Structures are given as C-alpha cells and as structure tokens.
C-alpha cells in the first residue's frame, strides 16, 4: 500500500508519517510539500492521500479534485488546523473521505484511514 502525505510543514508531515508507519503492514509513504509535488506523486499511483489544504503554491483542494478525477474511489483524508464548518463542508463537497483537525490524535487518524481503506462511505456535508 502506498500513502501520499501532503503538508508544507515538515514537523506536521513527520508526525503524520510517523503515525501512518505504525500501520500493519507498514505502508510505503510518499511525501509532498506543494501542490505541484503532490500532483506528480499522484501520477506515480497511490492508494490513499492525507492532505493539508493550505499549500504554498495552490489550494490543497486542487490536489483533492485531481486525485478524485484520476480515481473516484481513492480515499482522501483532509487534515488541517482549520476547524470551521465551512472548511469541512468544502473539503467533503470536493470529495474528501473525511476531515480530521490538527493536532492529530493517533487513534483518530488510524481509525479514519482504516475506515477509508475498508470502503466505508464518504462523509457528505450533510452528514458532518
């Protein structure tokens, strides 16, 4: 399994990758800090995307839309400091599987990843 972690903050990226590395079996983890790098990584194929929507070169929602356009079944988890209903609404409306706020709790992230990979239905703005 290959997971793409997209976050411009190296500390946050390291934390997310550390949590995901505890999965069994451990996944291959690709990292990106910009929209451009994330789009290139998507081209190499991934099974799951963990995405911060605030990127330095473009909106992370561009990455979300590109991932879903490439593979409508790919789970994308948005992980953000933003904890407003409108941010959650737009991420889910664009096709995110779930929205997790930072600071990330290990068990919450792993639960959302497991649900996404098991094919649980995506959250919708109406189900938030």
Integer Cα distance of 50 and 68 in angstroms? 13
The alpha carbon of residue 11 and the mean position of all alpha carbons in its chain are separated, in whole angstroms, by 16
Does residue 127 have a pLDDT over 50? no
Percent of the chain with pLDDT over 70: 93
Integer Cα distance of 35 and 58 in angstroms? 6
pLDDT single digits (tens) 52-108: 999 999 999 999 999 999 999 899 999 999 889 999 999 999 999 999 999 999 999
Does residue 126 have a pLDDT over 90? no
pLDDT at 83: 86
Integer Cα distance of 74 and 77 in angstroms? 10
Integer Cα distance of 11 and 122 in angstroms? 28
Q: Where are the domains of the chain?
A: 2-119
Integer Cα distance of 44 and 24 in angstroms? 23
Span 2-119: which CATH code? 3.40.50.2300
């Amino acid at each position: 399994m290959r997971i793409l972690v997209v976050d411009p903050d190296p500390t946050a990226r390291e934390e997310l990758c550390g949590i995901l590395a505890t999965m069994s079996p451990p996944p291959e983890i690709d990292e990106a800090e910009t929209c451009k790098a994330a789009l290139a990584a998507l081209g190499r194929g991934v099974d799951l995307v963990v995405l911060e929507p605030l990127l330095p070169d473009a909106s992370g929602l561009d990455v979300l839309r590109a991932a879903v356009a490439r593979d409508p079944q790919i789970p994308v988890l948005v992980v953000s400091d933003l904890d407003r209903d409108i941010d959650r609404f737009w991420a889910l409306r664009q096709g995110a599987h779930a929205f997790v706020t930072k600071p990330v709790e290990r068990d919450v992230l792993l639960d959302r990843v497991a649900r996404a990979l098991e094919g649980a239905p995506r959250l919708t703005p109406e189900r938030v």
